[in-house]
Amino acid sequence: MSLHKNSPFLVLLVLSTYALASSVGGNLTASDSADKLKQSLSLSPAAPVVVGVDSTVFKPGVDSLFSLNLLSSFPEDLEISDYCSDLLHIFGQRYVAYVNCLVTAARPVKVCQNCFSSYGSLMNIYTNISSDQMGPGNVSCRDSLLRSDHLMLVYLLYSNMEDIWTKSACDNCIKGFQSLTNDTLYFISTLNQTLTCFEKYQQGNHTELCKDCKNAYRDLNELYSRMETNLTMCIDIEDSMNMTRRLWSKNFNCSFPREETVPVIAVSSFMLFLPIIFYLSSFLHSEQKKRKLIHPKRAKSYTTLMNIQDKLS
C-alpha cells in the first residue's frame, strides 16, 4: 500500500491520538485551566464577572478595614462627655434589669409588687439624664442624649417602660417606690387565706370546698369590689382576682348558696313588674277621673230637664 493511499488513515490516527491526550491532560490540569480562566477574566475589562459557589463577593483588605473603623471617630466637640457616657451606661444596666423583671413577672402578673424597685431606679437615672441641672464641668446630658438625633432612642425606650407602668396602674399599689400600700397588703393576705382554703380541699370533695371556703371567698370578693370602687387596685390585684374566680366557678364548680341570691331575685322581679304596676295604676286613676267628670254633667242635665217640665206644666 502506498503512502499516498494511506494518508487519510494516518490523519485520522493522529487526530484520535491528539484528542485522547488532550482529554487526559485536561483532567489533570483542570485547576490550572480554571486559574488561567480567572486570570483572563480579571485582565479583560469587558469580560462579564462570573460568581461561583466558592467565590467571595467582597473581601476588604487591611486598608478598607482601617478606613471603616475611622468612621466611628468624630471630633471631641461632637462626642458626649464622660459624665453623660456614664449616665447612659447606668441607664442601660437598669433598663435591662427592669425588662428582665417584667418578663419573669408576666404570668401570673406581678409587675407592680415585684418590679417597683427596678422601675424606681430606672426612673431616677432617667430624671438625671433629662434634667436641666449641670453635671461636672457644667455639662447637661439632656440635649446630647435625648435630642441629638431624630429617633431619640433613650427617650423612646423609657417611654415604652413608662407606658407599661401606667397601664398597669401600679401607682395605686405602690407607696413611693418603697413598699406596697396597706390596701394591697391586706388584699394579698385575704387572697392567701382563700387560696389556702382551696388547697386544703381541692384534692377531696369539692362540695366541702364550696361550703367551707364560702366565707373566705365572699370576703375576698367584697374587698375587691371596694378597691375597684375606690381606685386602689392595680393589674396584679385584678389578675389574681380573675384567676381566683376562675378556680371557684370553673375548676371547683362552686357558686353561692340559694339564700344569698334571694335578694337579687326579689329586686330583679320588682324591677320587672314595675312598668306593669305603673301602667295599671295609671289606668285605674284615669277611669276614676272619668267617673268624676261624668257625674256633674248628668246632674246638670237632670236639673235642666226638671226646669223645662215645670215651665210646661
Asked whether residue 38 carries a pLDDT value surpassing 80, the answer given is: no
Question: 269 is written with which cell numbers?
Answer: 322581679
Least confident of 13-17, 112-116, 271-275, 299-303: 13-17
Least confident of 108-112, 184-188, 218-222, 291-295: 291-295
pLDDT, position 157:
95
Asked whether residue 246 carries a pLDDT value surpassing 70, the answer given is: yes
Give 156-203 pLDDT, tens digit per residue: 999 999 999 999 999 999 999 999 999 999 999 999 999 999 998 888
Categorize the per-residue pLDDT at 52 as very low, low, confident or very high, splitting at 50, 70 and 90: very low
Asked whether residue 311 carries a pLDDT value surpassing 70, the answer given is: no
Categorize the per-residue pLDDT at 66 as very low, low, confident or very high, splitting at 50, 70 and 90: very low
Q: How far apart are CA 221 and CA 259, in angstroms?
A: 17
pLDDT, position 48:
42
Least confident of 20-29, 97-106, 213-222: 20-29
Q: Where is mean pLDDT largest: 16-30, 90-104, 200-214? A: 90-104
Asked whether residue 45 carries a pLDDT value surpassing 50, the answer given is: no
Asked whether residue 59 carries a pLDDT value surpassing 60, the answer given is: no
Categorize the per-residue pLDDT at 226 as very low, low, confident or very high, splitting at 50, 70 and 90: very high
pLDDT, position 141:
87
Asked whether residue 239 carries a pLDDT value surpassing 50, the answer given is: yes
The size of the chain, in residues, is: 313
Asked, as a colleague might, if the bond just before 60 is cis with ω within 30 of 0, I would say no
Higher pLDDT, 134 or 110: 110
What is the greatest pairwise CA distance in the chain?
A: 184
For residue 162, the one-letter residue type is E
Question: 241 is written with which cell numbers?
Answer: 382576682
CA pseudo-torsion sign 71, 73, 75, 81: positive
Nearest CA-CA partner of 144 in 158, 157, 131: 131
Categorize the per-residue pLDDT at 20 as very low, low, confident or very high, splitting at 50, 70 and 90: very low
pLDDT above 70 coverage of the chain, percent: 61
CB-neighbour burial class of residue 115 (10 A; exposed 0-12, middle 13-18, buried 19+):
buried
Q: How far apart are CA 160 and CA 119, in angstroms?
A: 12
Question: 126 is written with which cell numbers?
Answer: 432617667
Q: How far apart are CA 252 and CA 245, in angstroms?
A: 10
Give 247-269 pLDDT, tens digit per residue: 999 999 998 654 455 566 777 77
Please, what is the Cα angle at 148 between 146 and 149, to 5 degrees? 100
In whole numbers, what is the pLDDT of the chain averaged over residues?
76
Q: Please report the beta strands in the chain, taking only residues with DSSP state E, as ranges in sequence order.
A: 174-175, 179-180
